Structures are given as C-alpha cells and as structure tokens.
Amino acid sequence: MRADLLEGYMDEDEFAKAINKARVTVRHMRRRGKGPPYIKLGATILYKRNDAIAWLQSLTCRPPRERR
C-alpha cells in the first residue's frame, strides 16, 4: 500500500466549498494576494488544510468593548 502524497491537501473546489464561496471568488482572492498560501502544480491549485485553518483563524474578529 502506498502513502497518499496529497493527503492533507485540498484542491481549489474543495477549498471554495469549505469556506462557502464560489470558485471564482477564491480565484479573485488569490490574484489579490488574499487567502491562505497555495501550491501551483501546473494548472492545479492546492491548499494545505492546516494553512487554510490557520488563515481562517487569522480572520477572527473581536467585538468592540461595550461603551460605558
């Protein structure tokens, strides 16, 4: 049995589905330098799952403190 080389990665469609966005939105994000790091393998775009999770966590917003 061989190890799956791409285990822990997701393609562009999987990433778009995971963040509930259209593939074209993910492409626009990537072209603007937004989003997680990616790997370009020919025409294939891959995202490490851990990088995608870290990127999502970096978007965490804190609510403003209640004014007194």
Q: Is residue 63 part of a domain?
A: no
Rounded to the nearest integer, the mean pLDDT of the chain is 90
**Angle at CA 13, nearest 5°, toward 58 and 36?**
25
Q: What is the pLDDT of residue 23?
A: 96
Q: Is residue 1 part of a domain?
A: no
35: alpha, beta or left, given left = phi > 0 and alpha = psi -120 to 50? Answer: left
Mean pLDDT of 13-24: 97
Q: What is the pLDDT of residue 65?
A: 81
Mean pLDDT of 10-27: 96
Residue 27, domain extent: 9-58
Q: Is residue 4 part of a domain?
A: no
Q: Is residue 64 part of a domain?
A: no
Q: Is residue 43 part of a domain?
A: yes
Q: Is residue 67 part of a domain?
A: no
For the segment 44-60, what is each residue's pLDDT rounded down to a tens digit? Answer: 999 999 999 999 999 99
Residues counted in the chain: 68
* Amino acid sitting at position 21: K
What pTM did the predictor assign? 0.81
Q: Total structural domains in the chain?
A: 1
